[in-house]
Amino acid sequence: MQNRIFKKAAGSAGVALVVVTTAALLSAQSTPLSVLEQQPVSTTPAQPDAPKPLAELPGEAYKESVRPLEVVRSSMENWSDAEVGALAVGIRKAGEACAQGRATTYSGDDLFDFARLCSLGQDWNDAETAAQTYIAGGAEAHRAQAYALKLTAQVHLNGMDDAVKTANEMLATLPYDAEVAYALRYLKDNLEKASNPAVVTLGVEEHLTLVKALATGKALAATHGDAVIGLGALFESGAELAFLERYSGDERGAAITMGELEGALGDPARLPWEDRTRIEGIKTQYALLGERMPQIEIKRALLSKTSKTQIGPDFGVATVLVLFPDWCTQCRHMMKPLTQFAVVNGDVPIHAYGLMFPDEAKMGGQLTHEDDLKDVQGTATMLITAWAAKSFGAIDYPLAIVLDAEGLVRNVGVISPDAFDGDSYMGKLIKQMANKDDVRPKAE
């Protein structure tokens, strides 16, 4: 299970929900990868970077061009001090204003706005009460958004059972629109991060409704408000169930789930470029599960001048790889805690490496200049080519690939910047994956 940064479209519920999902969400590929002979990933000569084909339409080229900016902006670690400070001021002001009001004082739009205010102010008890009061009033204009605010508050209050009940109520009483899809995605991600088995049950409950939405061939819009979720993101949310089924050993269930999702989409060629790209990346990552990691060329190891430029053949209890482009600042910041994680778990043993590749548009895809490596020098970071990175079908970053003792891919997905910090999420994931009582990964 993995984390993924997932952003709710601005506007509808008033607060942009930046959700850290634990999701290994991704889907099956029609042509499975062949099983490679067991060998370390090394500096074996690899095919040079292929020229990048031009996008068919200017709009596609534009979306691809702004993608790095979107990825960087999605992490608060990359925000300027002024931006972080402004957010802190906003939260404080909203909290103070929330404390001066009561849900019983308001009705209609004012009551909904009070729920949004308390949510921004992180007064989760008042936010939940206000949202529930609005729902009970029977108003339709912001009903789905109010449910989303209530569910979000319950997650922050660690009331996962209550949040699941709210999600089921949404499925039973509301039209399945973008607001519902985003809210359920948020909850599924948090349930997965907490290793809560309810995530599978909720995924099953949502599955057929989600499949019907995909079959329309159109982005899913909110019934009220301006939220929209594209087919690629919707497919990704549905594929989370298939990933979870694969992780639990339910190969047949995963195949059925993926088959129904892909069948609903029809011919991918008819989809918008952005959706097509996301869906193909998901399929590629899903197809990696149970296979040996694609053989890649490692140009250089930055831990020390004598470090080996290979992964394996001893994979320990597990080996974690974190793939990212050189422009991903939050990914580069992760390399020190990743390295420390590997050091403190050296006796388990658990290995961890960063795989950094150059942006194709930057210097023709050449490896990063020495001056640009200072922040990752002395870390367990390895430099690979952009061509090698393509074999992982990466869409968002940082992408984690977890290998088992045999070097087989057991887990794939985007993780949050704190995945190796403190009471490490990655450590918990490996312990669960290894399914052994004597495997006890340590925090740094």
Whether residue 260 is predicted with pLDDT greater than 50 in this model: the reply is yes
pLDDT greater than 50 at residue 288: yes
Phi first, then psi: what are they for 408, rounded to 5°? -90, 145
pLDDT of residue 387: 85
- Same domain for 141 and 262, yes or no, is yes
Same domain, 323 and 264: no
Q: Are residues 323 and 387 in the same domain?
A: yes
Share of the chain above pLDDT 70, in %: 80
Whether 60 maps to a domain, the answer reads no
Specify the range with the lowest mean pLDDT, choosing from 69-78, 107-116, 148-157, 223-232.
69-78
Q: Are residues 345 and 277 in the same domain?
A: no
* Average pLDDT, integer, range 315-337: 94
Structure tokens at 206: 């949502």
How would you classify the pairing of strands 228-229 and 350-357? unpaired
Residue 297 has pLDDT above 70, yes or no: yes
Judge whether 147 and 153 are in contact, CB under 8 Å: no
What span, in angstroms and rounded, lies between the C-alpha atoms of 51 and 63? Answer: 19
Residues 328, 219 share a domain: no
Same domain, 255 and 322: no
Same domain for 190 and 243, yes or no, is yes
Per-residue pLDDT tens over the stretch 28-80:
333 333 223 334 444 444 444 444 454 456 666 667 777 777 777 777 777 77
Of 247, 264, 288, the position where a domain reaches its end is 288
> Which structural domain range is residue 417 located in?
298-434
What contacts 259, CB < 8 A, 6 or more positions away? 28
Instruction: Tell me if 147 sits within 8 A of 182, measured CB to CB.
Output: no
Residues 24 and 161 in one domain: yes
Q: Using an 8 Å Cβ cutoff, are 379 and 340 in contact?
A: no
User: Is residue 13 located within the same domain as residue 94?
Assistant: yes
Same domain, 267 and 344: no
CB 12 within 8 A of CB 271: no
In a domain, 208, yes or no: yes
Query: What per-residue confidence (pLDDT) applies to 1?
Result: 40
Cα dihedral 39, 40, 44, 49 sign: positive
| Helix residue spans in 229-377 (DSSP H) | 231-247, 251-265, 273-288, 329-333, 335-344
Q: Supply the CATH number for residue 318's domain.
A: 3.40.30.10
* Of 66-75, 305-314, 423-432, minimum mean pLDDT range: 66-75
Q: Does one domain contain both 193 and 229? A: yes
* CA-based radius of gyration for the chain: 22
Last residue of a domain, one of 288, 321, 346: 288
> Number of folded domains in the chain?
2
Q: Are residues 282 and 305 in the same domain?
A: no
Domain boundary among 251, 268, 288: 288
